[in-house]
């Protein structure tokens, strides 16, 4: 039996299937796929040796606007406990002090 599915519908089904795996992996970490992409891009830029990464760099790499990226950052921060943020900030300050010496 032959089925006639419109090409657009076929691509839509395939697209959904390809997006499932990253979405499932992100959900296991308590993130959305978009948040995982942002963190992945941040990690990629760091591994390339970027000394400073600005929000503008991430916006350009992911082709999103300033308000969109700000909202993504806010959502990521909502999921991180305050203690972890404070620990990160203290560690960052110590690293900066060591660099300045």
Residue 89 confidence (pLDDT): 66
Quote the CA–CA distance of 69 and 5 in Å, as a whole number. 37
pLDDT tens figures, 25-64: 778 877 888 888 888 888 888 888 888 888 899 999 999 9
Residue 100 confidence (pLDDT): 59
For residues 73 and 56, is the Cβ–Cβ distance under 8 A?
no
Quote the CA–CA distance of 84 and 80 in Å, as a whole number. 7
């Amino acid at each position: 039996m032959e089925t006639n599915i419109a090409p657009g519908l076929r691509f839509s089904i395939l697209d959904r299937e390809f997006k499932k795996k990253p979405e499932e992996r992100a959900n296991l970490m308590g993130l959305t796929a978009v948040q995982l992409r942002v963190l992945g891009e941040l990690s990629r830029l760091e591994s390339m040796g970027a000394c400073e990464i600005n929000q503008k760099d991430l916006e350009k790499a992911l082709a999103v606007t300033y308000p969109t990226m700000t909202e993504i950052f806010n959502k990521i921060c909502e999921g991180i406990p305050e203690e972890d943020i404070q620990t990160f900030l203290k560690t960052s300050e110590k690293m900066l002090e060591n660099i300045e010496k």
